[in-house]
Amino acid sequence: MNLRLIIAILVAKLAMYLSRLTGRGRGSSLPGMLALRIYPELLKHYQGRTRKGVIMTTGTNGKTTTSNMLADIMEQAGYRVVTNREGANLITGVATAYIKSGTLTARLNCDYAVLEVDEAAFPAVTRWIRPNRVLVTNFFRDQLDRYGELDTTVAKVLGALKKLSGDTELILNADDPLVARLFKETGRTTMFYGVCPDAALSSAAAYSREAKFCPFCGVTLVYDFYIYSQLGDFKCPQCGFARPRPDIEAKDVISDAAGIKATIRGSGAYGGTWSLFIPVRGIYNAYNALAAFAAALSLGVAPEKAAYYLTKYIPAAGRMESFCYAEKQVTLTLVKNPTGFNQALTSLLAYKGKQDVMIAINDNDADGRDISWLWDVDFEVLVRYLNQFNGFICSGRRAEEMALRLKYAGVPTCLLTTERNYRRALDAALHGEGAAVGILATYTALWPVEKILGQKAERVSNSADRVPSVS
């Protein structure tokens, strides 16, 4: 019996209890941090403890949503799952997830571990927990002061993948050249997912493309269609590197106020056609659902059941989370990099009525100290649709800088308000003249805003009862 292990887990479980008792924090990282300080090798005791395997999701955007969708599918399919639902994706959050589900001696009664893992933390986590499958969503520039250049992030994930056992399978986004390259560079058995190229899906936002050049020969990539950012139908005119044919592909994708509708087409071993509906908006969520669907099929879940379980998905905090306040539709969305922010703006523009917008920007460690990335967001697109906005309330530690960015984008100053206090800013947005409210927040602003909003507004639960027909 390892005494340090037991003490570490006991301290962590006590921290979880106190967090719930006091209502301070969510207890998703601190317990793991305390346990690892007491016993740094704690995670090795969880390796191999799941009966059927470990699935890790990594990448820049969509990790939390994709991982939670997959965990939902597996649980509804009857499996016991260990997962870090609240987005605590560093090694401390992974440790917390295992400790929460296990006994004082690190024993688990579960079938799968479905884990979201931060790209920078991926090498450290996989040193202790060896996944059977790794799902990679996308790679975008994110928090340069923490991650460094994008090439560094991709190299970290690639290096960790190469150290895994040869039977580790990959589930990759075929539409992102930075992700698709991992198949060629690792030689792993791979399942690809993607969205059928369609000009109608291309965003109106002016993106800075992350992957302009072929990773193998350096020649400029050619695209027939962009879906968003560098995701699309790409090919290299020199060496032949191109978008792989997806095993699972979504076509006829429609995103409206009710959610996303699509037809999924499988090929090869996953041949078939299925209707998909998820009660959240945005083409990026279509990718997240498609990734979770593909992973579920690779684990043996019947496709009809996987598609049905996705209709009951409820977003995690800040992932297009819906509320209702005095008959107003309120949406809370996490923003953390230019690509994600552009997609959030696209979702705002999809609402055709008048709305108030609150943007809360912080520059704490978890957000990234460098907020220069705000100048790479296409706020200029808002100016073409100013008739849809009643006003913009800028909040958080960097409220003034956010207002300045909007001013330089062309938003009239008469529509701009700065209020650092979250509660007052939120009150102003909720009591504005708009028929809806859109709230965009960085990491450390998200949780306090979500807590205040939860006290004032009613959370809207999504349900399979809302499923529309899919033609």
The CATH number of residue 380's host domain is 3.90.190.20
Domain presence at residue 82? yes
Is the separation of the CB atoms in 188 and 170 below 8 Å? yes
d(CA 318, CA 423): 17
369/418 same-domain check: yes
Residue 360 inside a domain? The answer is yes
Q: Can you say whether residue 320 is alpha, beta or left, with left for phi > 0 and alpha for psi between -120 and 50 degrees?
A: left
Asked if residue 22 belongs to a domain, the reply is no
Q: Note down pLDDT in tens along the chain; length 471 residues.
A: 689 999 999 999 999 989 888 776 667 889 999 999 999 999 999 999 999 999 999 999 999 999 999 999 999 999 999 999 988 899 999 999 999 999 999 999 999 999 999 999 999 999 999 999 999 999 987 655 444 578 889 999 999 999 998 899 999 999 999 999 999 999 999 999 999 987 777 654 445 566 789 999 999 999 988 888 899 999 999 999 999 999 999 999 988 777 899 999 999 889 999 999 998 888 889 999 999 999 999 999 999 999 999 999 987 766 778 899 998 999 999 998 888 898 889 888 888 889 999 999 999 988 888 899 999 899 999 999 999 999 999 999 999 999 999 999 999 999 999 999 999 999 999 999 999 999 999 989 998 999 999 999 988 865 444 333 333
Q: How far apart are CA 349 and CA 345, in angstroms?
A: 6
CB 117 within 8 A of CB 94: yes
In CATH, what number is assigned to the domain containing residue 278? 3.40.1190.10
Q: Which tokens belong to 42?
A: 């704690």
Six token digits for residue 67: 């991982």
Range of the domain at 171: 46-310
In this structure, is residue 199 part of a structural domain? yes
| 304, 344: one domain | no
Q: Do residues 368 and 237 share a domain?
A: no
Residues 78 and 148 in one domain: yes
Question: 157 with 120: CB under 8 angstroms?
Answer: no
Whether residue 466 lies inside any domain: the answer is no
Q: Are residues 300 and 338 located together in one domain of the fold? A: no
User: Is 421 in the same domain as 274?
Assistant: no
> Looking at the structure, do residues 116 and 70 belong to the same domain, yes or no?
yes
Domain end, chosen from 257, 276, 310, is at 310
- Specify if 91 maps to a domain: yes
Q: What is d(CA 446, CA 315) in angstroms, rounded to the nearest whole number?
A: 14
State which of 310, 338, 357 marks the end of a domain: 310
The answer to whether residues 305 and 424 belong to one domain is no
Q: Positive or negative CA dihedral for 240, 242, 244, 245? A: negative
- Tell which of 279, 310, 341 closes a domain: 310
The size of the chain, in residues, is 471
Cα–Cα distance for residue pair 440/449, rounded to 1 Å: 10
Note whether residue 287 is domain-resident: yes
341 and 290 inside one domain: no
Answer yes or no: do 162 and 264 share one domain.
yes
Within this chain, do residues 301 and 336 fall inside the same structural domain, yes or no?
no
Report the number of distinct structural domains present in the chain: 2
117 and 148 assigned to the same domain: yes
Q: Is residue 212 part of a domain?
A: yes
